Amino acid sequence: MKAEEKLKHLYQKVILGHSKQPYHYQKMDEADYIIEAYNPLCGDKFKLFLKMKEGTIQTASFSGYGCAISKASTSILVQRLEGLKLADIAALRQQFKAVALGDKSSEDEEFEAFSTAKEFPGRANCVSLSWDSLEEWLLELK
């Protein structure tokens, strides 16, 4: 399979799959933290809900609306956050953005699927919206 065909397949499998059936797409009434992610340029808006215990994210979910790329990216973020220590979030974000928006490649199919966004610079905000909002929240915690 050619590289271009592989990326198209990953886009369809990962991005469209997570957009249609997002992970933990629900509000969480008992959340310890609620993080808002909003892009005023396109109107994408999500809320991330985190339930914490001793510096580790026990459960994460999200709700809101946006394009397929931002919704899928948020779904993957929420999925990856569960069981993660707050101290490890920055490294996960850096790894994701290096693959999705940088020049790194990865064996991680979910991260690799977002590398198609490099061809469309206007979609970079869609890819990183929730990841960047989470990073801002972490900086505010310190």
| Averaged pLDDT of the chain | 90
Asked if 123 contacts 117 with a C-beta cutoff of 8 angstroms, the reply is yes
Residues 70 and 91: their CA atoms lie apart, in Å, by: 20
Residues 68 and 40: their CA atoms lie apart, in Å, by: 17
Residues 89 and 95: their CA atoms lie apart, in Å, by: 10
**pLDDT tens string 77-122:** 999 999 999 999 999 999 999 998 888 888 888 898 888 777 777 8
Whether the pTM exceeds 0.85: the reply is yes
In one letter, which amino acid is 68?
A: A
Domains of the chain by start residue, with CATH: 3-141 (3.90.1010.10)
φ, ψ of residue 51 to 5 degrees: the values are: -110, 120
Residues 111 and 142: their CA atoms lie apart, in Å, by: 28
Measured over the CA atoms of residue 54, residue 26, residue 29 and residue 42, the dihedral's sign is positive
DSSP E strand stretches across the chain: 33-38, 45-53, 56-65
Q: What is the mean pLDDT of residues 56-82?
A: 96
